[in-house]
Structures are given as C-alpha cells and as structure tokens.
Amino acid sequence: MKKRGPRPKPKTPDPSVVLLGKRIRSLRKAAGYTSHEAFAWEHGFARAQYLAYEHGRDLQFSTLLRIVRAFNMSLNEFFEEGFEEND
C-alpha cells in the first residue's frame, strides 16, 4: 500500500466570494425558492454546484452572468446590495 502524506489544508475562502454566495442565496429566497434544488433545476444548474456557489465557492464570470440573468437582474442591480464594507 502506498504511503500518503498529510492532507493539504483547505483554502480559506475569499471573503468577497463568500459575500457573493450570501447575495445569491438571499436573492433565491426573496424570489420564493425555499430550496436551492428547485432553483437550480428550474434554471439549468447542477444542484450540487449551485449549492457550492451559495456557500462561497469561487465561480466563473460566465456562471455569475447566468445566475444574475436567472434573477432577471442587471449586474448593477445584483451588486447594489450585500457587498457593503461593514457586512
């Protein structure tokens, strides 16, 4: 059996990406979706991947655009709330 070294420590998430996830989650709930699965399914996202975004996993800009469009918002509207310095 091959000897394994210590597991690498998980990266600390970027605080801005965590805020992004919180914003996505709050918009989903405000849109009336109590479950991330329902939102993901209805808008063509893999449910586990979408949940990872809500929990602060980094995402590509093209994915962010798809999410913002799913909420029928512009990028300006998306970034208007939830990213204040004191959050």
Structure confidence at residue 87 (pLDDT): 46
Number of neighbours of residue 22 by Cβ within 10 angstroms: 16
- Are 47 and 36 within 8 A, CB to CB? yes
Q: Of 5-9, 14-18, 32-36, 77-81, give the lowest mean pLDDT range.
A: 5-9
35 pLDDT exceeds 80? yes
Structure confidence at residue 51 (pLDDT): 96
Structure confidence at residue 54 (pLDDT): 96
**Threshold 0.85, pTM exceeds:** no
Q: Of 36-40, 76-80, 81-85, give the lowest mean pLDDT range.
A: 81-85
